[in-house]
C-alpha cells in the first residue's frame, strides 16, 4: 500500500509555491506593464473647447491610472520577491531525496558507454579501495559510512552485470525491484506538528470561518443593495416617491440631488471645526443665491402647471449641496477648486442615476415626464438648461449670448440651426464653422407593417419601420426617400469637412465621441425612439436605443438611410389611432424630433369558402330526403339536370387574366377544331 507523509525538507512546498506564483505572476505582470489599449473611437469635434476638454479628461484618466498602476506594481513586486526567495531556496537545497534517478554508471564513476570488461576492471579497483577491511577512515568518517559506500558500489556493479538485477533496473528503475510508493504532501512537517500546529489551525479557522463568509456576504449584500439599473435601492425608492406625472425638468434636478450615491462623495468633507463647517455652508448659500439670479436672468422657471404636491424637495445637507452643484454645472457658474472637485465627482455618478430616473418614468408610461428625463440628459451633457437657446452648445457662445442671438437672428424653432448659419454672425467664426458641420437627424420614412399581411389587424404584431440618417443643416428634407442639397451646401461642406483617404467607410456611421465640452467623460451620441399618445400623455411603445445612424457622404450629400424596426402589438379594436413618434437625443440640445403618425387597424376580411356547398347533401340521397323533411337545404340532383354535374367533367381556362376564368367545356362537347 502506498504511504503518505509530510515533506520533511520543505522542497515540495517550495516547488508548489514557485509553480503557483509563476502561473499568477506572468499574466499579472503582462496585464500591469502592457501598453494601454488604444481607443478606436475618436472625437468627432475638433473645436477648441472639445480639444481642451479632451486634454482635461486625459489628465484625469492619467492620474487615476497612475494610482491604480502603483498599487498593481507593488503587489506584483511583492509576488516576484516571494518567487525569488523560494527559487533561491530550491537552488541551495539541490535535488531532494527520492527525486533523483538511480544511475549505476554515476555511482561507479564510469562512462555510460563502458563495456562489461571495463566495468569489472573498474569495480575491482574500487573494491580494493573502498572495502571496509582495507579502507582508511578519515577524520569525520565512520565504519558505517564506509560499509554503506561499499554496498552502493556493489549494488551498482551487480545492476550492470547480473541479468536479473539489470532487469529490475530497467523495469522498475531500481535494482532491488518494485518499491513501495510513498506520496508526500507539499506541506512541511513542522507546519502541522509541534508548537506551530495550533497557529495553523487558528489560521484555517479564520480563513474558512470568517474570511470566506465575509467576502461572499459583502458581495451578496452589495448586489442586493443595487437595482437592475445599477442604483441603490434607497435612491430608487426616493425617485419613485418624488417623480410624478407632471414633473418638469426643474423638479427632476431636485429629484436627482436626493440620490444616496452622493453621500460618500459629499459627506466625506463634513468634518472639521465648527468654523470650517459654517464656512462651507456659507459658500453653498452664496452659490444658491448666484444660481437664483442666473435662473431669473435666463428665465429658467418651474412649470406653472405642476401641482404643489408634485414639487420635489431636499431634506438633507448633502442633497442641498448636490442640487447646488448640478445647477452650477447647468448654468456654467465658475466654482472654487474644492467645489469643482465635488462637482466633478457628482457628474461622474450621473449616468446610472439618469438611466434609473428615466426607467421609473417609463415604468409608469408617463410621456411628458419620460421626455423630460431625456431632455435633462442632453441638458446636463451640454450644460444648457432646458428652455434656453440650444445655440449655447456651440463653442464660444455663452448662455446669455445664445438667448440674445436666438432673438436678434431669429434662430428659434425647429430650424434654429439653419437660421443661425444663414445669419453668419460676425465674431463667432468657430461657432459658425461647427454649426455648418453639425448634423441633424432626418426621418426619411416611417410606416407600420405586419409580416405577411397588407393590413394591420387587431392584436397583430406590428413593426414600425423607420428609415433614419444624419444630414447637414443645408440639406432639403427628404421626399419619398430622397434628399437634395441646397445650392451652397456642397461648397460649405467641402470647406468645413475634411475626410482623409481610407476614413470614408469608417465615418459612414456615427462612430466616435460627440461634441460635449462640458461633460467629464467621452460621450457617444444616441437617440431613443418611442411611440406615444400626446392626448393621453402615455407611452404606447417603450423606447428603442439607436446609436449607429449613418453620417452624410464626404461631398455633403446624404447617405443611404438605415432601417430600424420598433415592434409592438396592435390595439385590440379596429379604429384609426393617432400617435406621435418621438426621437429624443441624450447628447444634443434642440436635436429632438417629433412626427405624428396614424395607425389604421382593420378587421380581418373573411375569406369565402365552399364548405357550405360541400356540406349540403344531395337531393337523391337519404340524407337529402331527411334534410328536405326538416326544411333544410340540399344540392339538386345531377341526374335530373338540376346540378352542375361532376366537377371532373369540366376544365377551367385561366390563361387570360383580362378575360377572367371561363366556363369549362364538358367532355361531350365538340372541340374548336371540329366546329371549324
Mean pLDDT rounded to a whole number for the chain: 81
Q: What pLDDT is stored for residue 184 in this prediction?
A: 64
- Separation between Cα atoms, residue 651 and residue 642, nearest integer Å: 20
Q: What pLDDT is stored for residue 494 in this prediction?
A: 38
Report residue 334's pLDDT band, with 50, 70 and 90 as the boundaries: very high
| Model pLDDT for residues 538-577, shown as the tens digit of each residue | 999 999 999 888 888 888 888 899 999 999 999 999 999 9
Higher pLDDT, 121 or 290: 290
Residue 573 three-state SS: coil
Q: What percent of the chain has pLDDT over 70?
A: 78
Spatial contact of 417 and 591, defined as CB atoms under 8 Å apart: no
What phi and psi, each to the nearest 5 degrees, are found at residue 372?
A: -65, -35
CATH number of 104-172: 1.10.287.110
How is residue 580 written as a grid cell? 406621435
Judged by average pLDDT, the poorest of 116-125, 289-298, 562-571, 632-641 is 632-641
Judged by average pLDDT, the poorest of 301-310, 361-370, 500-509 is 500-509
Instruction: Flag whether pLDDT at 343 surpasses 90.
Output: yes
Instruction: Flag whether pLDDT at 188 surpasses 60.
Output: yes
How is residue 494 written as a grid cell? 467641402
Edge-first strand order for the sheet with 562-569 is: 440-449, 461-471, 562-569
Q: What pLDDT is stored for residue 121 in this prediction?
A: 85
Instruction: Flag whether pLDDT at 603 surpasses 50.
Output: yes
- 410, with CB counted inside 10 A (0-12, 13-18, 19+), is middle
For residue 635, which of 611, 650, 614 has the smallest C-alpha distance? Answer: 614
Distances (CA, A) of 180 to 2, 7, 173: 6, 17, 13
Report residue 481's pLDDT band, with 50, 70 and 90 as the boundaries: very low
Instruction: Flag whether pLDDT at 669 surpasses 70.
Output: no
- Separation between Cα atoms, residue 31 and residue 21, nearest integer Å: 15
Q: What pLDDT is stored for residue 653 in this prediction?
A: 41
- Separation between Cα atoms, residue 587 and residue 470, nearest integer Å: 15
| Model pLDDT for residues 73-111, shown as the tens digit of each residue | 999 999 999 999 988 888 887 665 445 677 888 888 888
Query: Against a cut of 0.85, is the pTM above it?
Result: no
Q: What pLDDT is stored for residue 321 in this prediction?
A: 93
Report residue 182's pLDDT band, with 50, 70 and 90 as the boundaries: low
Judged by average pLDDT, the poorest of 359-363, 391-395, 669-673 is 669-673
* Mean pLDDT (whole number) for 407-416: 89
Instruction: Flag whether pLDDT at 29 surpasses 70.
Output: yes
Report residue 615's pLDDT band, with 50, 70 and 90 as the boundaries: low
Instruction: Flag whether pLDDT at 675 surpasses 50.
Output: no
How is residue 634 written as a grid cell? 340540399
Spatial contact of 40 and 522, defined as CB atoms under 8 Å apart: no
- Separation between Cα atoms, residue 447 and residue 599, nearest integer Å: 9
Instruction: Flag whether pLDDT at 330 surpasses 90.
Output: yes
Pairing of strands 182-188, 3-7: parallel
Distances (CA, A) of 548 to 42, 93, 512, 544, 558: 15, 64, 10, 12, 15
- 10, with CB counted inside 10 A (0-12, 13-18, 19+), is buried
Q: What are the residue ranges spanned by the domains of the chain? A: 3-93, 104-172, 193-224, 611-676
Instruction: Flag whether pLDDT at 270 surpasses 60.
Output: no
* Mean pLDDT (whole number) for 617-624: 70
- Separation between Cα atoms, residue 231 and residue 357, nearest integer Å: 10
What phi and psi, each to the nearest 5 degrees, are found at residue 543?
A: -70, 155
Most confident of 86-100, 131-145, 251-265, 410-424: 251-265
- Separation between Cα atoms, residue 555 and residue 291, nearest integer Å: 45
Q: Which residues contact 138 (CB under 8 A, 6 or more apart)?
A: none
Spatial contact of 405 and 390, defined as CB atoms under 8 Å apart: no
Q: What pLDDT is stored for residue 660 in this prediction?
A: 39
Number of Cβ within 10 Å of residue 479's Cβ equals 9
| Model pLDDT for residues 281-315, shown as the tens digit of each residue | 899 999 999 999 999 999 999 988 899 998 999 98
Instruction: Flag whether pLDDT at 16 surpasses 90.
Output: no
Amino acid at each position: 500500500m502506498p504511504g503518505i507523509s509530510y515533506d520533511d525538507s520543505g522542497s515540495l512546498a517550495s516547488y508548489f509555491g514557485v509553480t503557483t506564483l509563476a502561473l499568477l505572476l506572468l499574466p499579472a505582470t503582462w496585464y500591469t506593464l502592457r501598453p494601454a489599449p488604444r481607443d478606436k473611437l475618436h472625437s468627432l469635434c475638433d473645436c477648441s473647447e472639445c480639444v481642451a476638454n479632451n486634454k482635461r479628461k486625459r489628465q484625469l484618466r492619467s492620474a487615476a491610472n497612475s494610482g491604480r498602476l502603483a498599487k498593481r506594481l507593488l503587489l506584483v513586486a511583492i509576488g516576484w520577491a516571494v518567487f525569488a526567495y523560494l527559487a533561491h531556496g530550491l537552488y541551495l537545497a539541490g535535488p531532494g531525496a527520492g527525486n533523483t534517478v538511480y544511475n549505476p554508471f554515476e555511482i561507479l564513476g564510469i562512462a555510460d558507454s563502458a563495456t562489461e570488461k571495463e566495468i569489472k576492471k573498474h569495480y575491482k579497483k574500487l573494491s580494493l579501495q573502498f572495502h571496509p577491511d582495507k579502507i582508511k577512515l578519515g577524520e569525520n568518517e565512520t565504519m558505517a559510512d564506509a560499509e554503506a559506500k561499499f554496498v552502493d558500489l556493489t549494488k551498482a556493479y551487480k545492476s550492470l552485470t547480473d541479468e536479473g538485477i539489470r532487469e529490475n533496473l530497467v523495469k522498475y528503475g531500481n535494482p532491488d525491484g518494485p518499491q513501495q510508493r510513498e506520496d508526500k504532501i507539499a506541506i512541511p512537517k513542522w507546519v502541522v506538528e509541534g508548537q506551530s500546529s495550533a497557529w495553523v489551525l487558528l489560521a484555517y479557522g479564520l480563513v474558512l470561518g470568517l474570511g470566506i463568509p465575509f467576502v461572499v456576504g459583502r458581495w451578496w449584500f452589495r448586489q442586493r443593495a443595487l437595482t437592475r439599473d445599477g442604483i441603490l435601492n434607497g435612491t430608487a425608492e426616493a425617485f419613485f416617491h418624488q417623480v410624478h406625472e407632471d414633473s418638469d425638468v426643474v423638479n427632476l434636478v431636485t429629484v436627482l440631488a436626493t440620490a444616496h450615491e452622493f453621500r460618500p462623495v459629499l459627506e466625506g468633507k463634513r468634518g472639521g471645526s465648527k468654523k470650517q463647517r459654517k464656512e462651507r455652508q456659507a459658500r453653498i448659500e452664496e452659490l444658491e443665491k448666484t444660481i437664483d439670479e442666473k435662473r431669473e436672468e435666463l428665465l429658467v422657471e418651474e412649470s406653472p402647471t405642476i401641482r404643489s404636491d408634485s414639487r420635489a424637495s431636499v431634506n438633507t445637507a448633502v442633497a442641498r449641496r448636490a442640487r447646488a452643484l448640478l445647477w452650477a454645472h447647468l448654468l456654467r457658474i465658475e466654482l472654487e477648486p474644492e467645489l469643482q472637485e465635488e462637482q466633478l465627482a457628482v457628474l461622474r455618478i450621473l449616468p446610472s442615476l439618469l438611466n434609473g430616473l428615466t426607467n421609473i418614468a417609463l415604468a409608469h408610461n408617463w410621456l411628458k415626464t419620460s421626455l423630460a428625463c431625456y431632455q435633462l440628459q442632453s441638458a446636463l451633457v451640454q450644460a444648457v438648461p432646458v428652455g434656453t437657446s440650444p445655440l449655447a452648445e456651440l463653442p464660444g457662445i455663452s448662455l446669455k449670448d445664445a438667448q440674445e442671438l436666438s432673438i436678434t437672428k431669429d434662430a428659434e424653432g425647429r430650424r434654429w440651426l439653419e437660421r443661425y448659419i444663414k445669419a453668419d454672425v460676425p465674431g463667432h467664426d468657430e461657432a459658425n464653422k461647427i454649426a455648418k458641420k453639425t448634423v441633424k437627424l432626418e426621418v426619411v420614412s416611417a410606416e407600420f407593417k405586419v409580416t405577411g399581411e397588407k393590413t394591420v389587424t387587431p392584436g397583430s404584431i406590428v413593426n414600425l419601420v423607420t428609415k433614419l440618417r444624419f444630414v447637414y443643416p443645408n440639406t432639403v428634407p427628404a421626399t419619398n426617400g430622397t434628399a437634395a442639397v441646397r445650392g451652397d451646401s456642397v461648397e460649405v461642406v467641402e470647406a468645413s469637412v475634411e475626410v482623409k483617404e481610407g476614413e470614408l467607410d469608417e465615418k459612414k456611421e456615427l462612430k466616435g465621441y460627440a461634441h460635449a465640452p462640458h461633460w467629464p467623460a467621452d460621450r457617444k451620441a444616441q437617440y431613443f425612439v418611442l411611440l406615444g399618445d400626446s392626448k393621453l400623455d402615455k407611452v404606447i411603445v417603450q423606447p428603442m436605443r439607436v446609436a449607429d445612424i449613418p453620417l452624410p457622404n464626404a461631398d455633403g450629400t446624404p447617405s443611404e438611410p438605415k432601417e430600424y424596426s420598433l415592434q409592438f402589438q396592435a390595439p385590440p379594436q379596429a379604429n384609426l389611432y393617432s400617435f406621435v413618434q418621438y426621437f429624443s437625443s441624450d447628447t444634443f440640445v434642440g436635436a429632438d424630433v417629433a412626427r405624428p403618425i396614424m395607425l389604421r387597424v382593420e378587421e380581418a376580411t373573411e375569406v369565402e369558402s365552399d364548405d357550405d356547398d360541400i356540406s349540403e347533401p344531395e337531393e337523391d340521397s337519404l340524407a337529402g330526403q331527411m334534410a328536405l323533411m326538416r326544411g333544410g337545404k340540399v344540392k339538386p340532383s345531377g341526374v335530373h339536370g338540376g346540378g352542375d354535374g361532376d366537377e371532373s367533367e369540366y376544365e377551367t381556362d385561366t390563361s387570360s387574366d383580362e378575360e377572367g376564368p371561363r366556363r369549362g367545356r364538358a367532355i361531350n362537347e365538340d372541340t374548336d377544331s371540329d366546329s371549324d
